[in-house]
Amino acid sequence: MSIGSFLATKENLELVKKNSWKFGRPKIVEIGMRYYEEHPDDVALIADNLERMGLPNAGAALDDVLREIVVHYYEKLFALVKTYEAYWIARNRIDMGDSLEPFVEARETDKAVFIGQSHFGATYLMASALMVHGIDVNMVGNFPEPVGSMLTNNVNHICEKWKTGKANLLNLAEPGIDVPGEMMRLLLLKKVVSNVYDENNQFCRPVKLLGKDLMGGTGMDLILRNFNDDKIILVTPFLVRTSDETFRYELDRHYLADGDIIESFYRSLEKRVAKYPAQWYFIHEVHESFEDKRKQ
């Protein structure tokens, strides 16, 4: 059993639903850290992955990583069951800085936006961060039931109740869905589309991260090669936790004319991982990214 499946119980969902962020978050963190105390093999794997990536892997540094992984899964539970509080936090606890400018530019110049998403920071709050500012976003992800329906119901409720932007899930767990085709269609319609580039699949190719060779890209370059900078704006956002209750939305812009777009995405991720290593929750499964899954 993984930390994610361990925490995703009806009891914990109810705990998160009944308690505000201030009280529910530390309770889930306590439960999650107890899981790691009882599963030393999981801790050893994370420590090995940290060492493999050249990151601190013992003592307080390791404890911080474990805690932030648990926090990530708290935020997932929060996104599944909270509505008004999710809206309020997105409106009042996320410093957007100037990160909305590319989305405003896209709207004014009739361009699509591709959001290159990574497994870093408060990813489950990123959709609401855009929604509360009136931005419609189409998000690719793997959301098996009941997660898919719960997320859809929550974001629809937030949109309808507080007149925010819309969030549409392109759910890889739904049978028969043509995600690449739907992504292309939406981008050609000048929509905002989000997908990850740092998972490993058969469309990945060799990339470098922190000087290490692994597989990445998830085939996003195969889709984006059909566009140019006159048609699409490319960004990589990172929702950085600045305290237990606050966040900063950092965003880098990328250009197809500059060359290898996947390499550019990874340089943005590398910058955040180096600065905030504990918030890179993908570290607990990064070992899977060293396998070449391309069809021979």
Residue 86, CB-side half-sphere exposure with 13 Å CA sphere: 31
64, 193, 225 from 216: Cα distances, Å? 26, 19, 16
Helix axes 40-52, 59-81, angle to 10 degrees: 110
What's the DSSP call for residue 143?
Answer: -
Residue ranges in the chain whose pLDDT is less than 70: 296
Could you read off the pLDDT of 122-171 as tens digits, one per residue? 999 999 999 999 999 999 988 888 888 999 999 999 999 999 999 999 98
Report the candidate in 98, 96, 139, 99 with the shortest Cα–Cα distance to residue 115. 139
Q: What is the Cα–Cα distance from 135 to 59, expressed in whole angstroms?
A: 42
Give the burial class of 249: count Cβ atoms within 10 A of its Cβ; 0-12 exposed, 13-18 middle, 19 or more buried: buried
Domain range annotation of the chain: 3-290
**pLDDT score, position 296:** 52
- Per the document, the length of the chain is 296
**pLDDT score, position 27:** 98
**pLDDT score, position 5:** 95
Q: What is the Cα–Cα distance from 36 to 22, expressed in whole angstroms?
A: 22
182 CB-near residues (< 8 Å, 6+ apart) = 170
**pLDDT score, position 176:** 83
